[in-house]
Amino acid sequence: MRLWVKILMVAAMTIAILVPLSMVRGVIQERQERRAEAVANIAASYGGRQVVAGPVLVVPYSEEVREQSADAAGIMRTTVRRRTRHWTFFPETLVVDGALAPDVRKRGLHEVRVYQWQGTVQARFDAQLPDDAPEGADRRIGEPWLAFGIADVRGLRELPRLQIGGRVQALAQGIGHEEGPGVHARLKAPVAGARLAFDSRLDLELRGTESFAMMPLARDNDLRLRSSWPHPRFEGLSPVHDLDAAGFNANWKVASLATEAQGRYRRKASLAGGGMGWSADPDAAGVTLVDPVNAYLQAERATKYGLLFVLLSFVAFFMFELIRQQPIHPIQYGLVGLAIAIFFLLLVSLGEHIPFGFAYLSAALACIGLIGFYLSAVLGGVARGAGFAAMLATLYAALYGLLVSEDNALVLGAGLLFVVLAAIMVVTRRVDWYRVGAAMPAMGR
């Protein structure tokens, strides 16, 4: 009966340790939110997540529409009203080429990755205007505009330089007759049925924070991006890329048939009233300059194994009691569990000031040393305390292996649990549990 009471007490202490572990996870979440605030603060002054879209040629027109409707007396009357619409044309070819120069900005304890993109956007248009106005519609074609979408225009270092057909063209704010993030250039009003064939080139320097993307809106797209940042995460469309310690060089060659970029643009443009239908989406060619060792993310992943650490430590205590017939008080269980929980808090706090690897090593050595020193008295010998500390050191080493090998975390974790279970089964394979339960000493000393 004493055996079952002891098992229930150990289970209760294990569940109780979940409280400090959840508090530590709350601290990690709070620090992550503060980092997000730091990113937003820097983006507000430097430039946020950038997306370059376009160019897109928009040709507005208006025409008279005759409608028949019955008045209050039931008499059919014809009314004439003028409606405004527009045609949207995408480039035949689009070549975007540029380099990201990465940098780091700090807000308090937090480092935020920023960049400056210097590039060119070259496009070739060959658009045929319709000449199918209904008889008597009185269609009038307005001044077209060439729209370039830029997610955050605060990131423009200086006025971009636009050339159309080899001639410099003036740029204006917005992306057309609707206000929106980007720039546009007005063209001369064409006649119905005209063919608009020309080349355009936009040179610009753009600053942004952490992420950069390009939209493949042409029939044939050739998007190129290079940087000295060695830890990119490609998003959206998958590129052909070279990656080494000196940085990356990526190339996206995309046909319009392979994406929904044009369709999404048209749908969003019709909802927005003209020209505002672009945004980063799964059809974008993008990259994020990631931090290879995010201390908060790593600490959060580590806390997911916190309960396992506590459980394995308590199982080791319990096995020691069974084999050595030496009672360990529940308070002593709890103190060791708290020391393990504090490890994760130390890991977070140290990780804000020193590299994650050194923070992990420092927190692990502090907790292992404290627990080993404490257990040398609890277990009745320095050798026993050192042995338990060695077991904890093995667990901490295994956990670090799980953290740095994210792709293999599942197989490593499953292997660790199998080894622990196998060790327990081997050690206790000859134990007579009925006799041990009857002979187990009372709790306390």
Say whether both 22 and 69 belong to one domain: no
Say whether both 260 and 275 belong to one domain: yes
Say whether both 413 and 300 belong to one domain: yes
In a domain, 362, yes or no: yes
CA atoms within 13 A on the CB side of 114: 24
Q: Domain boundary residue among 268, 289, 310?
A: 289
User: Could you list the mean pLDDT of each consecutive 10-residue stretch along the chain, which spans 445 residues?
Assistant: 68 78 84 84 86 90 75 70 85 95 84 91 93 75 91 88 91 74 90 90 93 92 93 88 90 90 75 45 85 76 77 75 70 83 86 84 90 84 84 82 70 75 76 63 49
My answer on whether omega of the bond before 55 falls inside 30° of 0, hence cis, is yes
Say whether both 260 and 360 belong to one domain: no
Contact 86, 274 (CB under 8 A): yes
In a domain, 38, yes or no: no
In a domain, 43, yes or no: no
pLDDT for 324: 65
Q: In this structure, what is the dihedral angle of CA atoms 378, 379, 380, 386, given to the nearest 10 degrees?
A: -110
**Residue 201: enclosing H or E segment and its boundaries?**
strand 195-209
Find all residues with CB under 8 Å of 126, minimum gap 6, and list them.
92, 195, 196, 197
Say whether both 140 and 79 belong to one domain: yes
Q: Domain boundary residue among 265, 289, 313?
A: 289
Say whether both 116 and 187 belong to one domain: yes
Say whether both 252 and 163 belong to one domain: yes
pLDDT for 68: 67
In a domain, 101, yes or no: yes
- Sequential DSSP letters for 78-137: EEEEEEEEEEEE--SEEEEEEEEEEEEEEETTEEEEEEEEEEEEEEEEEEE----PPTT-
pLDDT for 112: 86
Say whether both 368 and 278 belong to one domain: no
pLDDT for 274: 42
Say whether both 231 and 321 belong to one domain: no
pLDDT for 97: 95
**Which range of residues forms the domain containing residue 362?**
2-33+295-439
**Residue 343: enclosing H or E segment and its boundaries?**
helix 330-351
Say whether both 299 and 283 belong to one domain: no
Say whether both 272 and 338 belong to one domain: no
Separation CA 335–CA 314 (nearest Å): 11
- 3-state SS class at 141: strand
Neighbour-count burial for 29-41, b at 16+ CB within 10 Å, e otherwise: eebeeebeebbee
In a domain, 10, yes or no: yes
In a domain, 172, yes or no: yes
Domains of the chain: total: 2
Longest dimension (CA), the chain: 108
In a domain, 444, yes or no: no
pLDDT for 269: 59
- 3-state SS class at 169: strand
The full length of the chain comes to: 445
In a domain, 158, yes or no: yes
Strand-pairing partners, residue 196, are: 127
Q: Which of 162, 97, 149, 94 is nearest to 124 (CA)?
A: 94
**Reading across the β-sheet that carries 195-209, which strands appear in turn?**
167-169, 161-164, 195-209, 110-128, 93-107, 220-227, 247-255, 240-244
Q: Which of 6, 86, 30 is nearest to 326 (CA)?
A: 6
Find all residues with CB under 8 Å of 395, minimum gap 6, and list them.
309, 312
Say whether both 236 and 318 belong to one domain: no
Q: Assign residue 153 the CATH number of its domain.
A: 2.60.40
Q: Domain boundary residue among 289, 306, 327?
A: 289
Q: How many CB atoms lie within 10 A of CB 298?
A: 21
